[in-house]
Amino acid sequence: MDENPDSTIEPTQHTPQEPSLTAAALGTAGMGALVVGISLLGLSLVALEVIEPSAKTASETASKPPSPSETAATLGPLLAAALVLGLAHLARKKRRPLNDVVVLAAPTMAGIILCLLPSYSWWNAYQYDGTRRLTPVMVGAGIILIGVGWTLINARRIYLDLHPQPPAGEAAGIQEAGKADDTAHEVANAAATDAVKADPEPDSPDSDNPKPNQSGAGHSTGALSQTAVLLRRRPRSWVLLPVAACAPVVTVALVLALVSALAAAVLPFPDISPTTTGRRADAVDPDSLPAVPTAAPTQVAWTTTLMGVDHDKMSMVAGTRGPILLTGEGLRALDGQDGSILWTYHATNADHEGHRVGDDYRYTLVSSPDRRHVAVVLESVDERFDNVRGFIIMVLDAGTGEVTAEHEYAYDYNNPPGVQLTDSVALVGRDVISLDGGSLLGRISPEEAEYNYTGTAGHSTLVVAGTDADSITLHLVPETDLARRTELKGLCRDQFLSPPVKSELPTIEAGWTALCTSGTEDPDTHATSWTMTAVNIDEIAASGVQGEVDAGNVPSGSQVPLGTGLGLDRAASAAGGTLITRTEKDRRVWEDSYGDTRTEVNPQVHMVLDPATRTAFPADQSASIATAEISFAGLPYGEPVSDYTLTIAPSNGAPPVSAAFTSTQIFSSPDHEYFPDDDYRHVVGAPGASVIALVTSDFLSGPFEITIVGVR
């Protein structure tokens, strides 16, 4: 009898195990995490191009050579992740518990390290302008899910190494285990016997070189086949496996939600709301409001001195109770009856924005045609961020100083929004808002918003659109129908404003403007003389006229002839609250540096529109401060004096009025005698008094002195 030891070994009675639910769950969860992670990385590219194109443009615009710290922040995570993955690769070569821990932890750890890159990008964007970008979050979530998925796949491999599963062919036989007969058991025992003979000393789980069939060769295909078997043999796996597949994604989503909630609670959102100081005035009965003087002034009613900064940007308009001044210190409204301060408004964390008129740059201060509202433009900054700034348009009640509307507009350094007011709405850039409450009523097109008109509009009509080469062309927009347009061609210009492009600005007062026709240019002075007609833009817009409107087809009753002249005097019209034209006073002949003889026109006021009677009369019949000649008498610039005289001579021949007062230093020299071309003088006919505000100190010495004189 053969005593071969091999013949004494009885085949082990091995009942093939069912596919492991644990292994299938690990494989399904890992594949699910990988698929979702890779998908998120792909979607992040789409988000960068579609959802967040502005963020991409901003980052490209703000790009600059990286600093050493930025380079370290970029290369550091890459090198650290590569080191971790390299250690994991080395750990896989030998089978030990510590090595398994390294293999399992490395992908997730590398993902966390690589998440520092999108986190750094997110933080930079947040510090720059407060943006909480979606793309870096998607990238970070994708990287984490890929790392978790890789970890789960490695966990399945290690689990199969420690818990051998039947080969793929035998697993297929398990599907018919309930119907198999004894022959199937013999085949299984024979297979087990052959395995023992082939390897009498099977490796332990700690062996450095596990056998391929024990380590679960073909894990990828094995996972799919085993999952299929499980789904057929164990119905509950239909629930458990999808749960396992979703578990990593849900976990990462919950973590991100928690982090987002913490960020929302801890990290501040950008806020450019102005912090304001000041005082308000009590409302008064509209019937008790003072009227604008119509007679020639006979006395100095009051004199007030204020201190301010940015003397060359000061603006002044008429309110319902007196003049309103805007300097670097903010708004100050005076009582036209006695010169006392009614109310003040100052934004401590914002600067006032301005606009150009000719060579002048003045703070934007716009009044409504009925003088009940005034609007200013603030450039506000949130100093907690690098570049969080915007325009805030504040609308205030001209009588009390109460804020009636506040509107934020996107910041554009090169193109601040134009602001125009009717009696009930404001056009701010593209946005039409209500003066009471600030609600958004509609928008005009970006092309129309490029026409950056700032000033008073009609009582119920806005103006938009651009200019042509020869004359101003406006589109009239009724505030009740923002989609309707009436084209008004041939508006008059103030040709004495400089530079010439700014002379295209229209002049609109109390709903009236002027059309110019039949222009003739003087060959010596190059000044153009026109035939002028005043037209009411509110009535034209309300008439429903289709197509173009010019001087030849203005609706009957909506026009007043202004005669012939050199166009409108924009500053005098603003001071008088009505249209005032110019004519030639005299000529100045001089020789330039090239030896050429030049002839220049000195203009003067000519005709004044009376909107109440719809007539025009010569300026030499006007008692308005807007047509008066204002002159100074004092010592030359820089010399202290105790007697400084301001003289106001009405153009209708009424006796002049003089104001003498003490000044710290005379800033203006005696040759400043023409209204309104003095940069340091502002004139307006306001309720209660006609007002002149002028700088009376040397602006180089710090805050300057503003002397305000009220006459009536």
pLDDT, one tens digit per residue, over 266-281 is 899 888 888 889 999 9
| Strand, coil or helix: 380 | strand
**Statement: residue 294 has pLDDT above 70:** yes
What is 46-82 written as a DSSP string?
A: HIIIII-HHHHHHHHHT--PPPHHHHHHHHHHHHHHH
Mean pLDDT computed over 290-308: 88
**Statement: residue 328 has pLDDT above 80:** yes
pLDDT at 12: 42
What is the per-residue pLDDT across 542-578, written as a single tens digit (0 to 9) for each? Answer: 987 777 888 888 887 889 999 999 989 988 999 999 9
The number of helices, as runs of H, and strands, as runs of E, in the chain is 13, 34
| Cα 326 from Cα 195, distance rounded (Å) | 98
pLDDT at 561: 94
Q: What whole-number percentage of the chain has pLDDT above 90?
A: 29
pLDDT at 540: 92
How many C-beta neighbours within 10 Å does residue 143 have?
23
Least confident of 54-63, 465-474, 490-499: 54-63
**Statement: residue 380 has pLDDT above 90:** no
Least confident of 80-94, 159-173, 525-539, 599-613: 159-173
| Strand, coil or helix: 121 | helix
User: Contacts from 599-606 at CB under 8 Å and sequence distance 24+?
Assistant: 599/524, 599/525, 600/525, 601/522, 601/525, 601/527, 601/566, 602/674, 603/496, 603/566, 603/569, 605/569, 605/572, 605/580, 605/581, 605/651, 606/563, 606/565, 606/566, 606/580, 606/581, 606/582
pLDDT at 282: 94
Average of per-residue pLDDT values in the chain? 78
Residue 196 one-letter amino acid: V
| Cα 467 from Cα 464, distance rounded (Å) | 10
User: Confidence band (pLDDT; 50, 70, 90) for 65?
Assistant: low
**Statement: residue 33 has pLDDT above 90:** no
**Statement: residue 144 has pLDDT above 80:** yes
Cis amide leading into 670 (omega within 30):
no
| Cα 209 from Cα 202, distance rounded (Å) | 11
What is the per-residue pLDDT across 412-449, written as a single tens digit (0 to 9) for each? Answer: 877 788 899 999 999 999 999 999 999 999 999 888 88
What is the per-residue pLDDT across 661-710, written as a single tens digit (0 to 9) for each? Answer: 665 544 443 333 333 334 556 889 999 999 998 877 655 556 677 888 99
How many C-beta neighbours within 10 Å does residue 639 have?
9
User: Confidence band (pLDDT; 50, 70, 90) for 195?
Assistant: very low
**622 close to 654: Cβ distance less than 8 angstroms:** no
pLDDT at 519: 85
Q: H-type helices in 445-552, by residue range?
A: 446-449, 537-543
Pick 373 or 592 by higher pLDDT: 373
Q: Report the predicted TM-score, pTM, of the whole model to 2 decimal places.
A: 0.73
Cis amide leading into 499 (omega within 30):
yes
What is the per-residue pLDDT across 629-656, written as a single tens digit (0 to 9) for each? Answer: 888 665 554 555 556 678 899 999 999 9
Task: Tell me phi and psi for residue 412, to 5 degrees.
Answer: -145, 110
pLDDT at 402: 95
pLDDT at 216: 39
What is the per-residue pLDDT across 163-191, written as a single tens digit (0 to 9) for each? Answer: 765 554 554 444 444 444 444 444 444 54
pLDDT at 661: 65
pLDDT at 668: 43
Classify burial at 435, counting beta carbons within 10 Å of its beta carbon; exposed 0-12, middle 13-18, buried 19 or more. buried
What is the per-residue pLDDT across 212-251, written as a single tens digit (0 to 9) for each? Answer: 444 333 444 455 555 555 555 555 555 566 677 777 778 8
**Statement: residue 395 has pLDDT above 90:** yes
Least confident of 27-41, 92-106, 351-365: 351-365
| Cα 632 from Cα 647, distance rounded (Å) | 6
**29 close to 134: Cβ distance less than 8 angstroms:** no
| Cα 338 from Cα 344, distance rounded (Å) | 16
User: Confidence band (pLDDT; 50, 70, 90) for 28?
Assistant: confident
